[in-house]
Amino acid sequence: MILKNTITAATQADGAQTIDLDVFDEARLHQIQFSTSATPTAGTLTIAIKTPGASSYVNLSPALDLTNGSGLFQFWGFAESIQFTPASFDALKTYTVTVISGIRG
């Protein structure tokens, strides 16, 4: 089973964006791809997960550098939802995040 979720054309002003994973008890392998509308001069994107039954989010890794224009991140584990929080991102640029979650076969 493969689940695909996308956040499209988000900005710094939009704040944290969340993707809820409908079948978190089955989907354990997650691939996250991000891209920006144009190469920003500054900006990071923090990825955090909420474990099923937890009351708060925990950051997965150091913030990703958005000045690369695109990137890929993978993790294995149960997640009820994934949250993306931009910081110091160029005001006139947008970012898009695609999350593919599935069962490792």
Query: Over the stretch 72-97, which tens digit does the pLDDT of each residue have?
Result: 999 999 999 999 999 999 999 999 99
The distance from CA 8 to its chain's CA centroid, rounded to whole angstroms, is 11
What contacts 102, CB < 8 A, 6 or more positions away?
Answer: 1, 2, 3, 27, 29
- Whether pLDDT at 104 is above 80: no
User: What is d(CA 32, CA 30) in angstroms, rounded to the nearest whole number?
Assistant: 7
Instruction: Give residue 3's pLDDT.
Output: 87
Q: What percent of the chain has pLDDT above 90? A: 82
Mean pLDDT of 29-58: 95
Q: Where are the domains of the chain?
A: 2-102
pTM for the structure as a whole: 0.92
Q: Are 44 and 82 in contact (CB under 8 A)?
A: no
Q: What is the mean pLDDT of residues 45-64?
A: 94
CATH 2.60.120.20 fits 2-102, yes or no: yes
pLDDT at residue number 42: 95
**What is the mean predicted confidence (pLDDT) over 3-7?**
94
Average pLDDT for the chain: 92
